[in-house]
């Protein structure tokens, strides 16, 4: 099955941004076991550095990061690569966060805890051609 311009999930590079190492490890394991290529970052600065040097099709961003609020990082990621699909993922959000995320370029907003199936569905939904 074709995914837009991408021939397979192996062509999809995903950047995971979360300050919780266990979340990064679990999400990475789930995504890699389903054929995606995955990089991780635990700070906004690290995420920006990676996004500037590598093309990612999808970025999953936590809203609470140690060095920057996730909605601010989202805005910067949108400037780095407007075509990258961006999913905000958090266990602690407010209606204002959702509003800012949408305004700053979020393609999807999902709440933690996230099951394996929900994680995969969120990623697959933003990759579907529109």
Q: Mind listing the pLDDT tens digit for each residue in 86-112?
A: 999 888 778 888 888 888 889 998 888
In a domain? residue 49: yes
User: What pLDDT, on a 0 to 100 scale, did the predictor assign at position 9?
Assistant: 60
Tens digits of per-residue pLDDT, 2-33? 334 444 566 899 999 999 999 999 999 999 99
| Residue (of 127, 128, 122) closest to 27 by Cα position | 122
Write down the pTM of the prediction: 0.89
Any idea which residue has 């999930």 for tokens? Answer: 9
In a domain? residue 4: no
CA-only gyration radius of the chain, Å = 13
Range of the structural domain that residue 88 is part of: 9-127
CB of 47 closer than 8 Å to CB of 61: yes
| Residue (of 28, 126, 20) closest to 63 by Cα position | 20
Strand blocks (E) in 18-56: 37-41
In a domain? residue 1: no
Tens digits of per-residue pLDDT, 43-59? 999 999 999 999 999 99
CA dist 44 and 70 (Å) reads: 8
In a domain? residue 2: no
């Amino acid at each position: 099955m074709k995914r837009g311009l991408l021939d397979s999930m192996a062509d999809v590079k995903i950047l995971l941004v979360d300050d919780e190492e266990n979340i990064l490890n679990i999400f990475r394991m789930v995504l890699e076991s389903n054929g995606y290529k995955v990089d991780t970052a635990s700070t906004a600065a690290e995420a920006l550095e990676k996004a500037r040097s590598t093309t990612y099709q999808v970025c999953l961003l936590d809203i609470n990061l140690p060095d920057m609020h996730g909605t601010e990082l989202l805005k910067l990621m949108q400037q780095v690569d407007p075509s990258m699909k961006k999913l905000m993922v958090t266990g602690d959000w407010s209606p204002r966060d959702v509003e800012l995320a949408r305004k700053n370029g979020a393609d999807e907003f999902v709440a933690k805890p996230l099951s394996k199936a929900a994680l995969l569905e969120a990623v697959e939904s933003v990759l579907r051609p529109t």
